Homo-oligomer: A and B are copies of this chain.
Amino acid sequence: MDYETPQFFRVMQYAARADRDVVDMVSGNPDWDPPEGVRDGLRDYAEADADAFQYAPSRGLKSLREEIAARRGVDVSRVVVTNGAGEANHLAMTGGMDHFPGDEILLTDPVYPYYAGRASFLDAETTIVSVDEDGHLDPDAVRAAASEETSVVVVNSPNNPTGAVYGADAMAEFVAIAEEYDALLVSDEVYDHFDYAGRFTSALEQDSPNVVATNSFSKSMAITGFRVGYAVFPSPDGPAGDLVDRAGTRHMLTNVSGSRPAQYAVERALRTTSPEYYAKCRRRLERRIDTFCGALDAAGAEYNRPEGGFYVMARFPEFAGSFANVYELIDDAGVAGMPGEAFGESRSDWIRFALVTPRIEEAAERLAAFFE
């Protein structure tokens, strides 16, 4: 699988060219409004003095870093504001490869394709651990796959694409495994606000020099286009204290700094958005999960009901998760999902549907009718 060519675009382009109406359940772009604080932040920024239009500090606006640090309960020296979780993961993975021994990155299957693309881009050996049938990652399987060669372990909870949320015990185990094998656990927690079962635990709960937590406001504030994310590195005073400076240097030499109007708007929204905004987003998605899973039942599909995140993976009877079948669904059912084979081998019989469209009911009806 060539992860460097985004398969998302192939499917989206096919759907766009289809000779019929198609419900897009391919990409992970929220379809709801950002918090008003984001818009207010941009409105105010538009009237700011000239000096507000100049470079933000390379590691992010001070007020934004402080707000993030306070919310995550860490010292501000550990926080680097990045160009979205994408850059946060890039910095964490490259830093882990540089600092810790070994040339191997341990990923799960199914895998979010950007992780695999980055690993291949970094010329890392990639070892794959398949998740359970229910989408969970078994710490014993991770331990069995880890070795002296393991430099970085990447986990993602709530998970894209399976919808699994790893519990506190599992996260503690992943951290312990990273410590055991002198490796870095990169914990991508970008869907942390979308936790329907109350199971989510941040890797930062473990006070470990072997953990980097990555996150962004792309999903929680419905602003994937803003590119404001962050990574929390081990304390600069601890045994992996060089990680935050390595990341700061790489960030500076790659990007100089992040985009300031976007950081400004996010900082405003962080301070002004009530918990009700996030709760409402969760309730909206829970309703969509109910509707969509009902249709999957009607279609005779197997699926893991999402514990978190935006996605449902489903396996239909005698209908593999191939590009050919996904194209057939687009043409004949008018629903576009992502073929499971784009996420690795273990879920090549499955199809992933993103619940970020207001047309879930229509999609559900179309799928139920198609598989009837």
Chain A contact residues, CB within 8 Å of chain B? 4, 6, 27, 29-34, 38-40, 42-43, 45-47, 50-56, 58, 83-84, 86-87, 90, 114, 117-118, 121, 222-228, 249-250, 252-262, 265
Contacts and interface: CB of A to CB of B under 8 A. Distances in A.
A227 B253 contact: no
A325 B39 CA distance: 47
Nearest to A216: B256
Identify which of A6, A54, A56, A257 gathers the most chain B CB atoms within 10 Å of its CB.
A54
A308 to B, nearest CB: 20
Contact of A54 (B45, B87, B225): B225
B46 A253 contact: no
B226 A260 contact: yes
Given A4-B253, A87-B255, 15 more contacts: A29-B51, A34-B53, A50-B222, A54-B224, A56-B225, A87-B254, A87-B256, A90-B254, A114-B253, A117-B253, A121-B253, A226-B260, A227-B255, A228-B259, A261-B262
Contacts of A223: 53-54
A259 B225 contact: yes
Nearest to A4: B249
A255 B39 contact: no
Contact of A83 (B32, B55, B224, B256): B256
B227 A258 contact: yes
A227 B256 contact: yes
B50 A42 contact: no
Contact of A253 (B90, B224, B259): B90
Contacts of A87: 254-256
Given A55-B224, A225-B259, A259-B259, A33 B50 contact: yes
Contacts of A6: 58, 252
B249 A121 contact: yes
A255 B55 contact: no
Contact of A55 (B29, B50, B257, B261): B29
A53 B259 contact: no
